[in-house]
Structure 1
Amino acid sequence: LAHITINKNSVPGDKSAMVPGGIRLGTPAMTSRGLKEDDFKQIVEFLHEAILISSQAKEKTKTLKDYKQFLLNDPTIQANIKTLADKVIQFAQKFPMPGYPDH
């Protein structure tokens, strides 16, 4: 929804590998696009914003099905996702994907 791709990963203390509490970033892919240390700080800000949006939705729902519907249909959440997505796109455009100069 916000043009951010991460993997969920288990971390110490998780009760189940089916509900992991961590995330993993594809840092090699990002460095191959030319990102530097300060750029990763911006990525952390994007992730933080995404987590806050997700937390707002989670607070208002009880099931995964309701959560997904809330993300897709709540006007405030949708506006926040759109704002984040626009910032992510603007940021990513500064770093062309190797082999795909138009991406």
Structure 2
Amino acid sequence: HILDRSSEITAIVAGSDLLAFGALQALRERNLVCPRDISVTGYNNIPFGELVAPGLTTVSVRHDELGREAGRMLLGAIEGDKGVRSVVLPTELLIRSSTAQVRS
């Protein structure tokens, strides 16, 4: 099975914190221990991510900035702006106890 102790997988990088919570549950159901057996990371730093066990390593995004920028882009589109632009918003890696050093 893809999730067992003999697996070469060392980490799961989930597209959101909620998906990472699901990954943690799937590991528990298979008697795997995070991060001893597999590290798990999420994305978006939802408010209770530090409260799960183990605390979830995640990428923090400024939701207020993301919302403002999305609003600007929507207003531009409504006003007829057909241009495509790329926006890079700041993020921060919050390292908690769901990740460990790479096994050798």
Under TM normalisation by the shorter chain, which class is it? 0.3 to 0.5
- Name the structure where strand makes up a greater proportion of residues: 2
- Name the structure where helix makes up a greater proportion of residues: 1
Give TM-score scaled by structure 1 length.
0.34
